[in-house]
Structure 1
């Protein structure tokens, strides 16, 4: 398994500076959230660092890599291949960086869409949404909720915001996001 330093070097070489800085900021935010909610800090750190490691890959190559590893590409992902960057990132983490922990791999794979019945580590993907470099209406409230109230409440708000954002732009909405939101409502 690659060390944190080697992963950072990979990210520095393969991501644009803004995306690299974002990845480091997500790492720091995930560490804080892991400490608050009692998740394994090392796992949160590794998943956060690698969450966008496939952002540099073209849409066509993301489809090719997904097919190579037997990922079932749904119609939404085929028509909006950037959604696949989480799953492709998980393949890179597993087959290039030697990460074998399924929880870390799932946290990377589902950080874009979420999914029903997410583990605590997968929920810490909210770090991607609230890290300090993010600036959008309502992000400060989301941070407050995530840090001081309830992780699930923050996740529900992020799902609602994401769904509204995608619908307002007439873009494709992934079923995993809908299922994640509905699951959280069912299990309150």
Structure 2
């Protein structure tokens, strides 16, 4: 089975080349390059976990499509689409998954719920996650340019079990936020409580 990107037209209104051009309009080079690495990592994780590489790859490619919109646009879209008003207390780090879910539909013509949910949950996770949600969540965390403390442990756990990797990342993220005294978006805490092993 090939790990090379293939025909995304079956899930999107445009070809990969057109999607790439749209990403480049909205993302700086570093963020765009990150998206391409997440695409490749998502395809690798899909191959290792019996999932569709095309779905995983496309979700990985577009996961940060909304990341660099300006604050006013984010806030306007949250209000326009009547998203959780609690979101307005947070930042684009949380917003871009929820707003990205909407923008990849409107601007990229992607309507497959597996891809949309993977975009939506790639930052905060969810109490119940599909294999594609998990793949993009981990691909974003593990792509080759990631070099934070603990990334090799995360890679090893994910290689052993995608579910183990998801739990590890979720726990590490919560620890990071708590140690820095940062507020945790309620849906992220709900995901943590659902995912963490029960004693």
CA RMSD of aligned residues (A): 1.6
Q: In 1, distance between residues paired with 2:37 and 2:99?
A: 21
Are residues 187 and 165 of structure 1, via their aligned partners in 2, closer, same or farther at CA, if it must alter by over 3 Å?
A: closer
1:75-133 CA-to-partner distances (Å, cap 9, x unmatched) read: xx212231110111111110111111111111101111011111111011210001011
Partner of 2:29: 17
Q: In 2, distance between residues paired with 1:68 and 1:38?
A: 38
Runs (4+) off by over 6 Å: none
Partner of 2:169: 158
Residue 60 of structure 1: which of 48, 72, 76 is its match? 72
Q: In 2, distance between residues paired with 1:46 and 1:25?
A: 12
1:132-184 CA-to-partner distances (Å, cap 9, x unmatched) read: 1111001011112112x111111111011101111111111122222222222
Correspondence list, 1:64-103, <5 A: 64-74=76-86, 77-82=87-92, 83-103=94-114
1:3 maps to 2:15: yes
Residue 135 of structure 1: which of 142, 147, 151 is its match? 147
Q: In 1, distance between residues paired with 2:66 and 2:167?
A: 26
Partner of 1:180: 191
TM-score (norm 1): 0.93
